[in-house]
Structure 1
Amino acid sequence: MAQRPFKLPDIGEGTAEAELVAWHIGVGDTVAEDDLLCEVMTDKATVEVTAPFSGKVIERTGNPGDMLPVGGVVLVFDVEEEGAAPAPEPTSPEISSSASPPQSTRQEPEHRVLASPALRKRAADQGVNLRDVVGSGAKGRIRQSDVDAYLAYAKTLRETPRVASPGGAAQVSAISPAPPSDDVEEVPVIGLRRRISERMQDTKRRIPHFSYIEEVDVSQLEALRESLNATRGEHRPKLTLLPFLVRALTRVLPEFPHLNALYDDTAGIVRRHRAVHAGIATQTPQGLVVTVLRDAGSHDVWGVASELTRLSGLARSGRAAPADLTGSTITITSLGAMGGVATTPVINSPEVSIVGVNKVIERPIVDRGQIRIAKMMNLSSSFDHRVVDGWDAASFVQRVKAMLETPALLFVEA
């Protein structure tokens, strides 16, 4: 046997260090080539680091939350003498947008179980058949959290009391509420959650935000949307309100180029963009991820809807690449049905504008002296006051409001 170090590979984009999110092997484990070793996070995405050779782990460096230098030794293996010659290190690790992808993926191929040797042993010790576990990692790779979730579900089924019904069939009985507990769970703020925390703190500290909230009558827009969905055909995605808002932004922003911009406050330069690269804030169980719809003006509403579906799927399944997460020039944030009456969204620095969508509600309004029931929605937008004046922000929102209230304008060529 011979000792062989494993260095953290270059994960691209000039990254000098990465945060260790999770280990998937321990000292004493034997791993095979391509087994998952650990997950590390850069400013852009989470990278799954796999083994370029087989061996037994004899040393391991760092704990979750530590910063690891690219090129630094993170593991030392015992390997067979004949395999001690240097092997190429991975240059294109699998990338995901969150520290622990929230949705399961199907295994490829169907009967192949993707899991590290250490996890296989732990699962066997616990009496778990990994073929019964759905993996949440890349290509369906099974993680320890997946096994834990499977065991918790199995325990719930075993412990749920069942009573005989009058017809003889077993039924689940009512479960008494658990007694109150004073236990305190300490959760390390690492990975994506720490990135969000640091970014929000830095953004709020440096940028003088101001918000502008306006109500919009979307009655005509909702009627149009429902009509298009009713006749869309199976090959087209279902339209939400967001594709129409994106369309409105691409029509209005050329009149306000300083709002479709990035502010480099170190260099003192505002970079205005002609193309609208719309950042779409997507909530995942691990935190907020902003995917980017590039050159949004090149798509019609159906194309925008298709891209939004694709991007949100990548974000929630943890398969978004860095190119899907960078380069936005203005961000849209929406809480959907939980959108509330108004919000004060935080700007996605170095952008200077963010548009927030609140929920649509029916309520009475006065229209030309008459009371009618309308579908109303508020737009809650925030701006960087160093670059955007209040008058310009209000004028911009009013133009977007006009587009949404008279949706025919969205399709009239300028």
Structure 2
Amino acid sequence: MRWFGFGFNGFGQIFATEDKTDTAQEGKVFCPTLVQSVNKCTCGRDASAELQQIRASWSGRLSFPLKGDSGVFLDGFRGLGANKCCGFVEQSLGCKDAFSSESQLILAFQDRNEVWDFEKSENGPVWSMDVRPSSHTSDPPTKLPLAPEGYIASKPPFFRPLSPHLQAKSIALGPEHVILLSATGAVYTWGQGSHGQLGHGSLTSEDEPRAVEALWGVPMKAVAAGSWHSCCISATADLYVWGWNEIGQLGLPSRGVKKLQQQKSHDKASQSQTVDVRPEDEPSQAEDDTEVFISIQAFPALLDLNPQSDIKAVSCGSRHTAAVTTEGNLYTWGWGGYGQLGHQNLISSDEPQCVEFFQKNQLHVTDVVCGAWNTFAAVARKEEIKKPPS
């Protein structure tokens, strides 16, 4: 499977580069670019472009190769703590899954979970827990950050037990809030709620898991968490969004995006010698008041793409969102200051827009993973996609 990345590349997490000539655009990847590590390194590891999965943090990228030894490769800032010639994490040999924050690496093995501190790796894991595969399911014994009877967080405490009645299926961790998807398709949230990211209709925080009542009775199949916003996909492939929308990350009308557009138009007009910008040309306060902007959406809202499409996968960055349709198209919206929307510019958007790069190159997007300020998309050529039997 091939992965393309775009957006923030300040630590080489999309591709390594030593070119510092263009300091104005340093660390920004405008066009979707094939993610590649070194093909062969001096230690004999194979980190080819064929990757099974990617996990993204702010400064790094974990890559799971399709072939070769089991384990993960770490690229970016924290890649310096891994094998220097290829980024292979020796401690991950034999692991089934992995998750990285800015300070810790969480590894899931067949029989145990381990948490490694990047600054203390020579002393072994800072936390570990033995696990037993469940006899009631054929699923893998662990699926990070979810673990049997609880979940592993990226900050201490590393493990938190959950009530058995929740029967958690998957979990998404934001910096300050948590979204849990139960086996029945119900959504629970808890943590910081100051931007409506919990979906309970208020800005209050919750210490314990609380069901999102607005979604009760509508089974969900996937959840995602940004810094201050949340998303989920229903069993019928509809997309629901809630939380902070200051720069359009919910795909709803945003005053922040409007102001950026006005500022860009003003700057462009100011630079033109043929246009006389007058105060009366600026939008009046009365005109602004006629428009409806949403800064916080405290309840889940149904978001339709244009044209309407079924949603297959969704992921949230710090202040942007990306979704994959069943047709294999990638839509992005929100803050685009590092090119993380994939439209080959730095423009933010409060409307979901299709990333045309993949359409033009006859690429079918199958999955998406957002880092804080970048985006990674898994693709296959359209002729490689197997059509369902008629």
* TM-score category, normalised to shorter length: under 0.3
**TM-score with structure 2 length normalisation?**
0.25
Structure ID, larger Rg: 1
Q: Structure 1 or 2: larger helix share?
A: 1
**TM-score with structure 1 length normalisation?**
0.24
